[in-house]
Amino acid sequence: MTDTRRRVKVYTLNEDRQWDDRGTGHVSSGYVERLKGMSLLVRAESDGSLLLESKINPNTAYQKQQDTLIVWSEAENYDLALSFQEKAGCDEIWEKICQVQGKDPSVDITQDLVDESEEERFDDMSSPGLELPSCELSRLEEIAELVASSLPSPLRREKLALALENEGYIKKLLELFHVCEDLENTEGLHHLYEIIKGIFLLNRTALFEVMFSEECIMDVIGCLEYDPALSQPRKHREFLTKTAKFKEVIPISDPELKQKIHQTYRVQYIQDMVLPTPSVFEENMLSTLHSFIFFNKVEIVGMLQEDEKFLTDLFAQLTDEATDEEKRQELVNFLKEFCAFSQTLQPQNRDAFFKTLSNMGILPALEVILGMDDTQVRSAATDIFSYLVEYNPSMVREFVMQEAQQNDDVSKKLTEQKITNKDILLINLIIEHMICDTDPELGGAVQLMGLLRTLVDPENMLATANKTEKTEFLGFFYKHCMHVLTAPLLANTTEDKPSKDDFQTAQLLALVLELLTFCVEHHTYHIKNYIINKDILRRVLVLMASKHAFLALCALRFKRKIIGLKDEFYNRYIMKSFLFEPVVKAFLNNGSRYNLMNSAIIEMFEFIRVEDIKSLTAHVIENYWKALEDVDYVQTFKGLKLRFEQQRERQDNPKLDSMRSILRNHRYRRDARTLEDEEEMWFNTDEDDMEDGEAVVSPSDKTKNDDDIMDPISKFMERKKLKESEEKEVLLKTNLSGRQSPSFKLSLSSGTKTTLTSQSPATNLPGSPGSPGSPGSPGSPGSVPKNTSQTAAITTKGGLVGLVDYPDDDEDDDEDEDKEDTLPLSKKAKFES
């Protein structure tokens, strides 16, 4: 049997910092003559081929993780990992590695301060500092080894960094770099690469300030061109000096600011392009480099923000019609990058930044730019606008409302100018760009729709003592902008099916519907008035006939959101316009397919049933029952029918309904703490012991004619009890056929015809199940003779079992009547007297 202790998976780390599985095999350790040392060998379990052959180097940092994982770096930018099937195998290999390196196997990393002996640690702490070799060409290898050996120990890293700072060592190394380049000393250049890379990993700001100074940074980049792992050196300096060009869209007069911009670009280039991808052990060693770039960007934003002349010229040229398109594109791209830099600012500094831009007129400038034909310029302007909306939507809303007010004032003098001004409102420009997005995937439209939703979201609107932003802005939006948003919807739904049904149009209409659905959920009377007055829901439901399922579902979701509000204004509008017809038609056209459309439509009708929306229930049953009555794979529509029958019965017997209310209210007025005791006394007391004052009916009802009140009660009881015997017959037949399902539900639709015959003797067997029925059960009204015996259904009072379609159909009044049905005859007689 194969030894599973040594079974491993071999992983290597790719350029995307993801682990790639190189195969499964069995690991061993032994001396390899070719590598001249103890090595780790992994052979594939499938064919015995060699998956890994790695020499255990004395200075390599091996790390054990999670008891079954060993990770290490090998060569440049090449990380390896062995994942063991069993902990025992991992421990064995770990002991071999520690034995080669002379380490204690109890540690989790072989190259760390905790591995040093007490004497070494004491010597390191007590020694005044690290003595660096003299900076000479012949000693570059020694310097490189010193830097590499210092990196695993935090204390030695600290001492090395101090030595490099105090002796001006970096500048001396860079002088040697020029010598090596002139002499074409490749070995020396490779050593310098290792030294400079090691200095980066020391993670010291003071060293970075020297390395990134104007006189040193290009030489530092030059050292990093000579990676020993590459056959040919890179040409980073050539790219930075010849290919990359610094463009001043607006002349910068401050030399310090200009130098800071150059430095930040070059350091960012070093981080992204020059330095190799950090290994597992180096990831946290470049945090200071990230911070250096971050704080540089903060300084640049602050210095530009304080230069009023610079910003004034920027916005003047942006809005000047004489500015050529290429220049304007450069200006917009600069402003976009400027806003992106601002994201690094602290909240209070960001406040000041956007306030400065607002005072300089960034929103009017964006309005001009968005009105241009250049797609790239508009795209950059959209990104700038998104920064503003995400930061302070109230500032944008205030601007567009002031703009609308100015247009309204002008329109009083020039009537023709009103239409023109409405078309150039900033928010209308955003909507038009969303509608006219030429991207097949509508990437820009999706971004703009998100911005519009932020602007119309009441959750981020302010309310003060004098005014409410929500009221003012929504009034403005529905007056000046909503017609622009709904224009493509109204244009495409003039007939019974969408006039254009291509994929891009469907995507656009889905975005519009998503925003309208958001408005239904978060706005109140504004969207309600708009939908009802413009007949929007009818137009939306035309999209149910789209060949694109996602668009039809968006239309259905819009209607579902409206119904979910349970608003009678909406309900009357839906009923008056027969707006369930497109939904029912789509349901029937979908046929027996079990898909999202089927489930979503059934869920909408189920919501109407569960929430007992009476007006919609009656409307659906009265107008669409014939089309839906055959749907029996769910009980939703039969449940709706049952609700409808219950409502109709209550309408037919108003006295009965009032009697229920009286009984229910009288009971609920009792003290809750004594209710159970009184009910127990009621059942335990003999009828002869009952006093006259214990009647349940309130004294105010005693003056009514008893016959008038009890006559509908008696009729109802007759129908109910006959229903009991009928359901008992059905249940008995089911049980006699061998089916035993105590929890199954019996459904009697109004379409079911039952022939009433003489009661079977089996119905009166002791303990046979029966059903108290429900007051509005379909088929009950009008189907029972009035002279049915009242005692016929009381013979099985011992074990009544309720059989109904839905457990939540029984309301409180039905439960009260069920309790009365289960009373002994003597109690009922006493009650009815």
Q: Give the least confident one: 60-74, 82-96, 278-292, 352-366.
A: 278-292
Show the tokens assigned to 131. 């003595």
Between residues 414 and 199, the one the model is more confident about:
199
Q: Is residue 730 predicted with pLDDT exceeding 60?
A: no
Q: How many of the other CB atoms lie within 10 Å of CB of 709?
A: 16
Burial class (CB in 10 A: 0-12, 13-18, 19+), 742: exposed
Between residues 117 and 149, the one the model is more confident about:
149
pLDDT of the residue at 76: 58
- What is the per-residue DSSP string for 238-300? HIIIIIS----SS----HHHHHHHHHHHHHHHIIIIISPPP-TTTGGGGHHHHHHHHHHHHHH
Average pLDDT over residues 118-124: 44
57 sits in which H/E element: none
Identify whether 670 is part of a domain.
Answer: no
Show the tokens assigned to 270. 């070093």
Average pLDDT over residues 240-245: 88
Q: Is residue 321 predicted with pLDDT exceeding 90?
A: no
Identify whether 585 is part of a domain.
Answer: yes
The secondary structure of residue 824, as a DSSP letter, is: -
pLDDT of the residue at 544: 94
Please check whether residues 284 and 147 belong to one and the same domain.
yes
Q: Is residue 304 predicted with pLDDT exceeding 60?
A: yes
End residue of a domain, out of 248, 280, 299: 299
The whole-angstrom separation of Cα 628 and Cα 626 is 6
Q: Which CATH number characterizes residue 16's domain? A: 2.30.29.30
The dihedral through the CA atoms of 699, 703, 708, 714 has a sign that is positive
Identify whether 385 is part of a domain.
Answer: no
Identify whether 156 is part of a domain.
Answer: yes
Identify whether 430 is part of a domain.
Answer: yes
Between residues 75 and 212, the one the model is more confident about:
212
Give bridge partners of residue 54 from the DSSP assignment: 40
The dihedral through the CA atoms of 569, 575, 576, 577 has a sign that is positive
Please check whether residues 550 and 575 belong to one and the same domain.
no
Average pLDDT over residues 683-709: 43
The secondary structure of residue 742, as a DSSP letter, is: T
Q: Give the least confident one: 15-19, 662-666, 695-699.
A: 695-699
Please check whether residues 164 and 267 belong to one and the same domain.
yes
Using pLDDT thresholds of 50, 70 and 90, give the confidence band for residue 457. very high
What amino acid is encoded at 125 in this protein? M
Q: What is the pLDDT of residues 460-484, one digit of tens each?
A: 887 665 567 888 899 999 999 999 9
pLDDT of the residue at 519: 96
The whole-angstrom separation of Cα 317 and Cα 322 is 8
Identify whether 114 is part of a domain.
Answer: no
What amino acid is encoded at 762 in this protein? A
What amino acid is encoded at 136 in this protein? E
pLDDT of the residue at 75: 63
Give bridge partners of residue 606 from the DSSP assignment: none
The residue with tokens 């300084």 is: 299
Please check whether residues 257 and 283 belong to one and the same domain.
yes
Between residues 460 and 740, the one the model is more confident about:
460
Q: Which CATH number characterizes residue 543's domain? A: 1.25.10
Show the tokens assigned to 377. 């310029």
Q: What is the pLDDT of residues 586-643, one digit of tens each?
A: 999 998 889 999 999 999 999 999 999 999 999 999 999 999 999 989 999 999 999 9
Show the tokens assigned to 94. 């770990």
| Closest by Cα among 413, 245, 448 to 330 | 245
Give bridge partners of residue 43 from the DSSP assignment: 26, 50
Using pLDDT thresholds of 50, 70 and 90, give the confidence band for residue 664. low
Domain span holding position 605: 566-653
- Provide the angle, in degrees to the nearest 10, between the axes of the packed helices 375-391 and 347-360: 130
Please check whether residues 153 and 181 belong to one and the same domain.
yes
Q: How many domains does the chain have?
A: 4
Please check whether residues 445 and 575 belong to one and the same domain.
no
Please check whether residues 554 and 574 belong to one and the same domain.
no
pLDDT of the residue at 155: 85
Show the tokens assigned to 92. 């064995």
Helix (H, G, I), strand (E, B) or coil at 518: helix
Using pLDDT thresholds of 50, 70 and 90, give the confidence band for residue 15. confident
**210 contacts 238 by C-beta, under 8 angstroms:** no
Classify the phi-psi angles of 672: left when phi > 0, otherwise alpha if psi is within -120 to 50, otherwise beta. Answer: alpha
The residue with tokens 């540089």 is: 296
Please check whether residues 508 and 532 belong to one and the same domain.
yes
Please check whether residues 44 and 77 belong to one and the same domain.
yes
C-alpha radius of gyration, the chain, whole number: 42
Identify whether 543 is part of a domain.
Answer: yes
pLDDT of the residue at 318: 86
Please check whether residues 281 and 156 belong to one and the same domain.
yes
Highest-pLDDT range among 37-51, 387-401, 575-589: 575-589
**205 contacts 288 by C-beta, under 8 angstroms:** yes
Using pLDDT thresholds of 50, 70 and 90, give the confidence band for residue 53. confident
Please check whether residues 502 and 610 belong to one and the same domain.
no
pLDDT of the residue at 167: 76
| Closest by Cα among 160, 152, 147 to 207 | 160
End residue of a domain, out of 563, 592, 624: 563
The residue with tokens 């795209």 is: 379
End residue of a domain, out of 607, 622, 653: 653
| Closest by Cα among 406, 410, 403 to 429 | 403
Please check whether residues 556 and 593 belong to one and the same domain.
no
Q: What is the pLDDT of residues 473-527, one digit of tens each?
A: 999 999 999 999 999 999 999 998 999 999 999 999 999 999 999 999 999 889 9
Q: Is residue 138 predicted with pLDDT exceeding 50?
A: yes
The full length of the chain comes to 833
Q: What is the layout of strands, in order, in the sheet containing 19-32?
A: 50-55, 37-44, 19-32, 7-13, 79-84, 69-73, 62-65
Identify whether 218 is part of a domain.
Answer: yes
Question: What is the average pLDDT value for the chain, to the nearest integer?
Answer: 77
The whole-angstrom separation of Cα 476 and Cα 471 is 9
**62 contacts 50 by C-beta, under 8 angstroms:** no
Q: What is the pLDDT of residues 811-829, one digit of tens each?
A: 444 444 444 444 444 434 3
